[in-house]
Structure formats: C-alpha cells, structure tokens
Amino acid sequence: MIRRFFCLAAASCILSYTSLAQPSAASTKEQRMEWWREARFGMFIHWGVYAVPAGTYNGQKINRIGEWIMNRGKIPVAEYQKFAKDFNPVKYDADAWVRTAKEAGMKYIVITAKHHDGFALFDSKASKWDIVDASPYGKDLLKPLAEACRKYGIKLGFYYSHAQDWNNPGGAAARKVASEGWANPDSARIDAYTAANSGHWDPAQTTKTMAQYIDEVAVPQVKELLTNYGDVAVLWWDTPTGMTDEFAEKLNAELKLQPNIITNDRLKRPNFPGDYTTPEQRIPKVGEMDGKDWETCMTMNGSWGYKSYDNAWKPTATLIQNLIDIASKGGNYLLNIGPKADGTIPAESLERLKQVGDWMKVNGEAIYGTKGSPLKPLTWGRCTQKVEGGNTVLYFSVFEWPANGKLEIPGIKAKVKSAKLLSNGKAVKTSSAGDVLSLTLPAAATDPIASVIKVELKGSL
C-alpha cells in the first residue's frame, strides 16, 4: 500500500513538473493564432487542371462550381487526365499574384496545392499526377509563390484535399449525381454505379484502398508540402469524405514539421477540430461564433475554380461591406480568385481587388487587429474595436450616410476623448445623453461604400 502511494505521488509530481515546464496548449495556440487574428483578410486561390475545361465538357455546360467538373460530369479518369496536356500556365507570374494580394490589403494567401481532382501544383514524388510530370509546363508552381510571399511579407498557406481524390486510386469521392447540366444518355447508369461504389464512377478509381491512398499519396504529399517550401502558415484541409480517426491522425502527425502552423476544422470532425472554423459562402449571424476563431471563405462570382461563363460577379461594394461585416463579428475574410489555365487572373477579379485595396489603404486601421463590435447591431453600418493603453477605440463604418447628418449610437457611457473621420482626420462633433452617443457628420459621405469614423473613449465600455 505504501509502495502504491509512493508511485502515485511520484507520478503526480512528474505530471505537475511536466505541466509547469511545458507551455499550455492554450498559450501555444494563442501564439500561433496571433498573426491570423491581426490579419483579418486573406486571398484564397483555386487553380488547377479544371481551369482548362472551364465548366464545359463534350460541348455541354456542367452545372455548379468549376473545380467539381470531373465529379459533376462523371468524367472518366483517362479522359480527365487529357486536360493536363493543355494546362500550360506560361503567363503565370507569382510575384505579380502576391503583389496583387498585398495591394488589396490581404495579409495571407491559401492556394489549392491539390484539390479533389488530385492534381498537385507541385513536384510530388508520391504521384505522377502533378504539374511536373503530367503537364507541358513541367515546373513546380508553388516554389515561386513561396518565394514571392517571403519577399512581400505575406503568409503562405496550402489547401490540401486529403480525403477526396478522384484520380489517384483509393481516394474518396463524394456521392453526387450526374450533373443536371450534362445531357448524357448514360447518366442513370452512372448514378447507379456511383451509389453502389461509395461515390466513385470509374473502376480506375478503386484499384487501391483508401488506406493505401492515405499511406502512399496523402501522407507523403503533406510531408512534401511541409518540408519543401519554407514556413507554411496554414494547412487548409477540405471535405473529410470517408475519413477515419486513424487516417486523420497520420496526417495530423505531419504537422510537427511546421511547429507554428495553424489548421482549419475540416480534417475529421469532431475529434480533430483544428484552430478555427470555416463557414463557407456565408457570414455568421451576430453571436453565432462567440468564443470561436472563424473565417468566412467566399467567391467573387459563383465558382471557386475558373468557369468561363460565370459572370455573376459581386459588386466591389458588397466585397468591402462583407469584409467590414465579418471583422465586426470577430472573423476573417478569405476571398477567392480562380485563375485561368494560362496563369492569368480574370480582369474582373483584378478590378475588384484594386478597388478593395484602395479602400483598405485609407481605412485598413478599422480592420486589422480589431475585435468584434461590443455594441448591439447597427442598422446603418458596422463597428469594430481595439483596446489601446486601457482605452477603447471604436471604428464606425457607415454604409448609409444619415440624411440629417446625425448618428445616434446607444450603449456608450464612456467619455469621448476624440472623434474624427478616418479618411481625412477632420474632427467630428459629439454629444451624449445617458448612454447614447451622438455624432454630427458632414453633409456628404467621405466614401460611397463605407465611411469610417474613429472614436476614442476613455477606459472601457
């Protein structure tokens, strides 16, 4: 009994010493997430072989997002791989891409190193289905991007489809019916085959098991991505179709190669939650994400990957107001571009990114390093905040300029130290009645999309 007590006591001491000697998981996460929370704005890049068909197969437009054309169109493996012969991005300029992101006010980039079609944009030793071995371009696309990110101080992240892979045998496939937009007489047969074969539609996809795919392709490729490109800030997993905890742990174990890396929540739910959650194509409601780190990823038009006839472009005003709305709720905005097969970025994307950048050059202070609004929702705009030197700074982004020149903001009792227009530094007159702060504004807005008023308060709200 005495011996047992001694062993338990010794184990307790060792445990206590270990807890004191090692930083807590929470503090480690806080350190890793610091830059990401400061950034608030990043660029998503969906690029791959799917940019060649650009939404059309055998003369038929395939419905829905462009990078899913192989699945939606049920294109056989051998047929899809022919597209790689025309994937020759000779106009690709990694330096220009990163400069575009930086000038737009973005602080990080996440690119599809490998999407669900399994095509790797890098020189992989684990599969010949990559840019070096399967395309006439023959060069790694990620190395120049990594170099440009280092040059311009932009954090680099890799999207990696770890479970779904429609070309490398054994990879999973989501069970989607044949595209409604494809007039294929065999669609019923394909749908039946897909339903009976875990989502696969081509026998070539099932010549190996998923366990073999994980061990022979996914794990080695993740190791390559985390070894060959310098610092990697983000690993962005996607669609854990067919994943098990055992498979996920093998992939998760490779993260030790990049001790400061952060990951999203899509490796394998619920046991691998990652560092932040990823609402897709939507902005959460107020209070929905309280206490969580989150990032809205969103397209500029309707598709992630390039689709030649997708002209549903969001206006620049929507993109800027989305960014402000997301920051006002404490989230990040990952805004997508879908480059063409020749390596150029669509003109519509470039135009919008420049306009967003023009706004950010003037008003970025209201976005970077801010926290969500401490106030109730505002009908005429959004609020972000910072705490500096024990005082509170509120940034009011006004979408609808008041016709009477007055803004009334409830919930503020603290004394105002200063108030000014962020664009030109001109003072704004304030007055208070109870917990309502009133701002007297110029007759016209300083910006047609969102004018920002910076209010410094003494102490905290």
Look up the CATH number of the domain holding residue 396.
2.60.40.1180
Domain that holds residue 114: 26-366
| pLDDT of amino acid 4 | 37
Paired sense of beta strands 451-457 and 391-398, if any = antiparallel
Boundary (domain end) residue, out of 339, 366, 393: 366
Percent of the chain with pLDDT over 90: 88
Cβ pair 441, 419 in contact under 8 A: no
62 located within any domain:
yes
What is the C-alpha separation between 396 and 328, in angstroms, rounded? Answer: 10
| pLDDT of amino acid 16 | 33
Which run of H or E residues covers position 334? Answer: strand 332-337
What is the C-alpha separation between 121 and 48, in angstroms, rounded? Answer: 7
Crossing angle (nearest 10°) for helices 245-253 and 219-227: 20
For 352, half-sphere exposure in the C-beta direction (CA atoms, 13 angstrom radius) is 21
- The one-character DSSP state at 216 is I
| pLDDT of amino acid 8 | 34
Q: Which residue has the tokens 């024990």?
A: 390
1 located within any domain:
no
pLDDT digits 0-9 by tens, 212-226: 999 999 999 999 999
Give mean pLDDT, residues 47-58. 98
CA torsion sign for 350, 353, 358, 361 is negative
Give mean pLDDT, residues 388-403. 96
16 located within any domain:
no
- The one-character DSSP state at 436 is E
Say yes or no to pLDDT of 9 above 60.
no
Cβ pair 42, 367 in contact under 8 A: no
Let me know whether 119 and 260 are in one domain: yes
Say yes or no to pLDDT of 10 above 90.
no
* Structural domains counted in the chain: 2
Backbone angles phi, psi at 457, to 5 degrees: -115, 145
* Count of Cβ atoms closer than 10 Å to residue 241 Cβ: 19
Let me know whether 298 and 447 are in one domain: no
Say yes or no to pLDDT of 87 above 80.
yes
Let me know whether 421 and 344 are in one domain: no
- Based on DSSP, count helices (H) and strands (E) in the chain, helices before strands: 13, 16
21 located within any domain:
no
Let me know whether 174 and 206 are in one domain: yes
* Count of Cβ atoms closer than 10 Å to residue 168 Cβ: 24
Say yes or no to pLDDT of 15 above 90.
no
Boundary (domain end) residue, out of 336, 366, 396: 366
| pLDDT of amino acid 58 | 95
| pLDDT of amino acid 192 | 84
12 located within any domain:
no
pLDDT digits 0-9 by tens, 219-277: 999 999 999 999 999 999 999 999 999 999 999 999 999 999 999 999 999 999 999 99
Cβ pair 307, 338 in contact under 8 A: yes
293 located within any domain:
yes
Let me know whether 438 and 344 are in one domain: no
| pLDDT of amino acid 25 | 54
Percent of the chain with pLDDT over 70: 93
Let me know whether 266 and 406 are in one domain: no
Let me know whether 210 and 73 are in one domain: yes
Q: How confident is the model at residue 113 (pLDDT cuts 50, 70, 90)?
A: very high
Which CATH number is 71's domain given? 3.20.20.80
Tell me the residue ranges of DSSP E strands in 25-117. Answer: 41-45, 56-57, 60-61, 108-114
Q: What is the mean pLDDT of the chain?
A: 93
Let me know whether 338 and 409 are in one domain: no
299 located within any domain:
yes
Cβ pair 430, 412 in contact under 8 A: no
Say yes or no to pLDDT of 19 above 90.
no
Let me know whether 303 and 421 are in one domain: no
Task: Calculate the CA dihedral of residues 28, 30, 33, 34 and round it to 10 degrees.
Answer: -120
Say yes or no to pLDDT of 24 above 70.
no
Length of the chain: 461
Give mean pLDDT, residues 123-145. 98
| pLDDT of amino acid 461 | 83
Let me know whether 392 and 349 are in one domain: no
Let me know whether 218 and 74 are in one domain: yes
pLDDT digits 0-9 by tens, 162-179: 999 999 999 999 988 876
Let me know whether 405 and 345 are in one domain: no
Q: Is the peptide bond before 284 cis (omega within 30 degrees of 0)?
A: no
Say yes or no to pLDDT of 408 above 50.
yes
422 located within any domain:
yes
Cβ pair 94, 346 in contact under 8 A: no
Boundary (domain end) residue, out of 338, 366, 394: 366
Q: How confident is the model at residue 185 (pLDDT cuts 50, 70, 90)?
A: low
CA torsion sign for 117, 121, 127, 128 is positive
Q: How confident is the model at residue 12 (pLDDT cuts 50, 70, 90)?
A: very low
* Count of Cβ atoms closer than 10 Å to residue 108 Cβ: 22
